[in-house]
Amino acid sequence: MNNRRAQLICAWTGPVLAVLFLIGAVLLGRFIPPWVRPHYNAQKVAAIFAQHHGRILAGAFVTIVSMSLVAPWGVSVAAFRPHEYSAQTVMALNDVAYFLFLFTWAPFSIWTLAVALTILLDTSGEPVYPRWAAYLSIWTAILFVPAGLMAFFKHGAFSWAGLMTLYVPVGIFFVWLAAMTTLTIRNINRGEVHTDQVPAGVPYAVAVTRRSSSRSAATSAAS
């Protein structure tokens, strides 16, 4: 398998992730929008898991394949024996699942900020990614932050079922994923393939070999 094909396959895993997440987390498991709310009592949470345990297990399986996260695992544990666990245990496992999914926002913010910094440091004449992609990455990092407030609220926009904690971070992640996937596939199709050779002025993380003869000529003329 050549380098270009391998990178295209990696880039297309983004859309595959999005489709599987939609099937698992939204259509099957109903993690988004949640069947359960943080202010529900233990008996109500346990009853919901008992009623829908088959769909929740199937949704957790598909979601964990798509995202490779621990959070869906926590949901699947809660749904595994809903009639045998105490109501308080089911509620606690559900809370843990959403905390693992959303409260761990910091590494994702660092990731998108690192992408933004790499793009902004690209001082070559033909940047690999446009600057607007860096600004989108910065905004994505910022909009992940409200997920950290979920520990303080059981109602409203900042609870783990709320607009600012659940829907905004998840929504902006998939907007960012779609944008970066589109740009990456475009770059690969143009012949801009990652190599170990780092052109002057281009950070290693986005080092590319420009294989188009016209672009090579333009770069040589500029230098």
Number of neighbours of residue 37 by Cβ within 10 angstroms:
16
Q: What residue segments make up the domains of the chain, in order of their start?
A: 1-103, 106-223
CA distance 32 to 22: 9
pLDDT confidence of residue 194:
54
pLDDT confidence of residue 45:
87
Write out pLDDT tens, residues 31-77: 888 888 888 888 888 888 888 888 888 888 888 777 664 455 555 55
Number of neighbours of residue 155 by Cβ within 10 angstroms:
11
Write out pLDDT tens, residues 126-140: 888 899 999 999 999
pLDDT confidence of residue 78:
61
pLDDT confidence of residue 137:
95
Q: Which of 208, 107, 202 is nearest to 148 (CA)?
A: 107
Report strand pairing: 208-210 vs 192-194.
antiparallel
pLDDT confidence of residue 175:
94
Percent helix, strand, coil in the chain (nearest 5)?
70, 5, 25
pLDDT confidence of residue 92:
86
Return the sign of the alpha-carbon dihedral for residues 53, 56, 62, 63: negative
pLDDT < 70: residue spans in the chain: 1-4, 6, 67-82, 192-223
Amino acid present at 122: D
Number of neighbours of residue 191 by Cβ within 10 angstroms:
15
pLDDT confidence of residue 169:
93
pLDDT confidence of residue 13:
74
